[in-house]
Every structure is written in structure tokens, then in C-alpha cells.
Amino acid sequence: MERFDYLIIGNSVGAVGCIETLRSFDKGGSIAVIGEEPHHVYSRALLPYYLDQEVPVEKMLYRPVDFYERLGVTPVLGRRVVGLDTAGHVVKLDDGRTISYGKLLLATGGRPIVPPIPGLDTEKENICNFVALQDLQRISRLLPSAGRVVVLGGGIIGLMAAEALHKKGLEVGVVELAPRVLAPVVDEFTSRLIEEAFRRSGVAIYTGTTFKEVQGGERATGVVLTDGTSLPCDLLVVAVGVVPRVDLAREAGLAVNRGILVNQQMETSAADVYACGDCAEVYDFLMGNRRVLPLWPNAYAGGRVAAYNMLGMKREYDRATSMNAMHFFDLNIITAGLNTAGEKDGFEVISRFDAGSRSYRRFVLKDDRIHGFTLVTGIARAGIFLHLMRRGCAVTSFKEKLLEGEFGYLTIPEGLRRELLIDEGVMSEHAAANQ
Ligand SMILES: Cc1cc2nc3c(=O)[nH]c(=O)nc-3n(C[C@H](O)[C@H](O)[C@H](O)COP(=O)(O)OP(=O)(O)OC[C@H]3O[C@@H](n4cnc5c(N)ncnc54)[C@H](O)[C@@H]3O)c2cc1C
């Protein structure tokens, strides 16, 4: 049986964070990564560009093609792990092969949700998900015969899909069950700005409704909504989110809630088994609880922390929190922390909208600190706000200035400014002292 010192299941960003850290410290240990998708590691955030700008796959790669070779990693691609024996330190592949490991990382990501709606089945010819390269390759093949598309789901991925398909010249309708798009991710005002941007561009948005049924046989021909509206379509994209892929972990007896449970060292309940990324629940330092944070930087950072601990260099992942950077038509949006919380949750909220520039800022404050924020259009200072939030800096004395377009380091009171600049490595303690 083959054996590797470090074995990773799932060939995406969590795996890359782990591999790069392992190799920085352990030059000789054997590493293998097993991935169900046949591709080299690529950026999922670039999937819409594959469609609307026809960006070739080579340009979507997250690391150069010689990544595995250069780092001495054995890739086992196009293979799925179907069994895990944590006591014996062995995994079983779908071709019957078994591989043993010293330390194991589960970075299995998420699985797209397909709601139980009559006629909705992604096995059908023209019903697709939007999470993997093969989904996009399928959609591309369908485009020449598609004029009208309905996207189920007005979340980040659904809206990305809608914009990309609109740019390909299709007539697009988005159907969202909640009363507004991106309801769990942004506050109501931001939702309205986004809906307006889509409608202005010619994309139809239907909120507060969903599919009652999908019409057609092997090929979907349209949908009927719960409010009775009929929408004919040649292509249907299902984008209502992903659930953590935990089946392997659960069957192996690991502690699993919604995601695989890990401590701050990314250790699961089984010895020598770690988990990170979209399949795991991590400790959110702002929420003060464990939850799934399906974000690219979270998967990378989690993979790094797992690697440190595999190497015996104790590290904790204590900076995890929600953060989203989005771009829809002419709107750039950044959200972080508890950005959707409001007065009813016991927070103070300050906000400002400038109709001319269509820029919007919203800060969620409590106990003299920033707990979350939203920036629309004027996003240049996001790094400073994030820094103030992560460090728990006292902001009451200058809170109104947070809303001003020209807010920057110079707006921050001198003592705090020095601390932040030193902390960020922007200047030495000596230079800051002379500021
Ligand atoms: C269209 C799109 C756009 C996005 N844009 C952004 C963005 O702008 N910013 C952001 O922060 N996040 C974004 N995300 C989310 C981000 O891509 C994920 O958070 C990130 O990819 C999670 O990485 P991961 O390593 O946990 O797993 P994933 O990227 O989900 O990869 C897991 C891999 O494991 C494989 N796998 C699972 N089980 C097995 C098994 N048993 N055996 C072998 N292989 C297995 C899967 O096939 C998959 O390839 C986007 C996601 C999508 C779909």
C-alpha cells in the first residue's frame, strides 16, 4: 500500500494553503493530494469570467502548472475518496486503491444544493449548477441553443451567473425565495442597490417566490413560480448555495455538525485528522461561535494553520470572520463581520448614501468598536476598516468620520494611527514615533 506523510483530500485552495506551509518547513516529507475533479487547482471566483470573457482554463489556474512537481507533491486527480479508516490511518479510493497517511487534511469543500422541486434535476440536459469548472463547460456547450435562462437563487453565485449570462446576450431572470437578493449577506439598502443595478441592466429579478415546478421532460422548457408566473427558458441554473461535504467524515465517525467540527488548531475529533475550508466549522472571532465560512481566504488560512499543527508548530486560527468582496455591473461591494446586524440586535448603526456617486457606507458598532461594515462603490479604505475591526480599536471619538469619503489613516487620532501603522508593518516603531 502506498503511504504518504501528509495526505490531503480535496484539491482546491485549502489544499494549497496546507501544501505551501508544509513544504516551507518540511522539505523531505511525502505529500499527496487527492481530487475528484480532474483539473489542476483553479480559482472558483474566476468561473464567471470563463463564461462571459471566455478566459481560458490556463488563466484560471490558482498556481502554475508545475506547482505539484516543484513542491514535490503527488497529485491523484480525477479520483474520489470513498472510505476513511481513522484508526488504521487509511483512505480508500473509488478505484479500489488504498493509501495510508501520517497526517490527513479534509478539504472537501461544499456540494451544491438542489431543492426538491418537481422536475428540477441537474441530470437533465439543460439544468446546471454553477460551482465547478465542469458546470461552466456544460453551460458553454448549451449557450449556442439558449436564448432565455432562469437562475434559481439570488445569492452571490446566482447573481454572478446571472450577470455573466446576461453579458453573453441571454435574456435572464433570477428567482429568489427571500424578499430581497443576497438577504443573508448584505443589509436591505445594499440589496436594493444591487437589485436596481440588475434591473437597470435588463435582468429580471423575482423576489419572494420560487419554482413551483419545472416544465418539460428531459429538457426543461420553463418554470412556473409559486405566485403563478410562467417563465419559459432554454437553460436553468441552480444556484441556491452549497452544503459542506461531510459524508466521508460522518461515515468515519468524526464529530460533525453542519460542517466538520474542528478546534482552533483545525484538528477534528480523530487523531491526526484535520479539516479546513467550506467543509469545516471554524471559530468566528466576532460572532463568538463556530460556523461554516465558505470563503476563499478562510480555506487558505485554515489549510495553513492545519499544516503548522501537523508539523508540531502549534498555531491557532483566531482571525476567521465573514468577509465578502463582490462586483456586480458597476457596483463594487465589500462587507465584513456582522455587517447585516442592526439596532434590533443591540448594535448602533451609522450609514451614509451619496446619490451622486452611488456610494454607501454602513458601520455596525457596539462597545466603542466596529463589529461589521458594508462599503458600496467607495471601497478603497476597506483594509483600514478591517484592521480597526480586527484589533477591536476604540472608534467612538471619530465614528462620524468613518462615513466620509476621504477617511484614511490621517483621520485616525495620532496614537492609534501609530499603533496601526506599526502593526501593519507600514512603518517602523522609530518612524512612527517621529510622526
Ligand atoms: C462561482 C463561485 C465564485 C466564488 N467567488 C468567491 C469570491 O469571490 N470570494 C470568496 O471568498 N469566495 C468565493 N467563492 C467561494 C470559494 O470558492 C470557496 O470558499 C473555496 O473554494 C473553498 O475552498 P475549499 O478548499 O474548502 O474547497 P472547494 O474549493 O470546494 O474544493 C473542494 C474540492 O474537494 C473535492 N472533493 C470533495 N470530496 C472529495 C472526495 N471524497 N475525494 C476527492 N475529492 C473530493 C471537490 O471535488 C473539490 O474539487 C466562490 C465560489 C464559487 C462557486
Ligand 1 site residues, Cβ closer than 6 angstroms? 9-14, 34-37, 44-45, 47, 80-81, 107-110, 130-131, 157, 160, 245, 248, 277-278, 294-297, 299
Question: Across the chain, what does the average pLDDT equal?
Answer: 93
What does the pLDDT average to over 340-362? 93
Mutation pick for ligand 1 pocket among 296, 300, 324, 334 (CB with most ligand atoms within 8 Å): 296
Side-chain-facing half-sphere of 273: CA atoms under 13 Å: 26
What does the pLDDT average to over 182-204? 96
Q: Cα of 294 to ligand 1 centre, how many Å?
A: 8
CA-CA distance, 61 to 41, in Å (whole number)?
6
User: In which order are the strands placed within the sheet that holds 369-376?
Assistant: 323-328, 331-337, 369-376, 359-366, 348-354
Q: Is the pLDDT of residue 232 over 80?
A: yes
Q: How confident is the model at residue 54 (pLDDT cuts 50, 70, 90)?
A: confident
Q: Is the pLDDT of residue 427 over 80?
A: no
Give pLDDT, residue 289.
86
Assigned CATH topology for domain 330-424: Enolase-like; domain 1 (3.30.390)
Q: Cα of 276 to ligand 1 centre, how many Å?
A: 11
Give pLDDT, residue 424.
64
Letter for the amino acid at 334?
Answer: I
CA-CA distance, 66 to 72, in Å (whole number)?
10
Parse the chain into domains and list their residue ranges. Answer: 2-109+245-311, 112-242, 330-424
Q: Domain 2-109+245-311: give its CATH superfamily.
A: FAD/NAD(P)-binding domain (3.50.50.60)
* Lowest mean pLDDT across 103-112, 391-400, 416-425: 416-425
Q: Which three cell numbers stand for residue 6?
A: 501528509
Distance, C-alpha 43 to centroid of its chain: 11
Give pLDDT, residue 246.
98
Q: How confident is the model at residue 432 (pLDDT cuts 50, 70, 90)?
A: very low
Give pLDDT, residue 17.
98
What does the pLDDT average to over 260-280? 97
Q: How confident is the model at residue 357 (pLDDT cuts 50, 70, 90)?
A: confident
Cβ–Cβ under 8 Å, residues 398 and 384: no
| Model pLDDT for residues 309-331, shown as the tens digit of each residue | 999 999 999 878 888 999 999 99
Q: Is the pLDDT of residue 116 over 80?
A: yes
Ligand 1, atom 35, residue with closest C-alpha: 10
Report the chain's C-alpha Rg in angstroms: 23
Q: Is the pLDDT of residue 140 over 50?
A: yes
Give pLDDT, residue 358.
87
Q: Cα of 228 to ligand 1 centre, how many Å?
A: 35
* Structural domain 112-242, CATH architecture: 3-Layer(bba) Sandwich (3.50)
Q: Fold match between 2-109+245-311 and 112-242?
A: yes
Q: How many other CB atoms sit within 10 Å of the CB of residue 208?
A: 13
Distance, C-alpha 222 to centroid of its chain: 30
Task: For the chain, give the percent of residues with pLDDT over 70.
Answer: 97
Measured between alpha carbons, how far is residue 203 from residues 153, 209, 259, 355, 391 in Å?
A: 14, 16, 34, 22, 41
Ligand 1, atom 27, residue with closest C-alpha: 109
Phi-psi region of 202 (alpha: psi -120 to 50; beta: other; left: phi over 0): left
Ligand 1, atom 33, residue with closest C-alpha: 10
Q: How confident is the model at residue 55 (pLDDT cuts 50, 70, 90)?
A: confident
Q: Cα of 110 to ligand 1 centre, how many Å?
A: 6
Letter for the amino acid at 138?
Answer: R
Q: Which three cell numbers stand for residue 59?
A: 488563466
This prediction has a pTM of: 0.92
Q: Is the pLDDT of residue 379 over 50?
A: yes
Give pLDDT, residue 433.
46
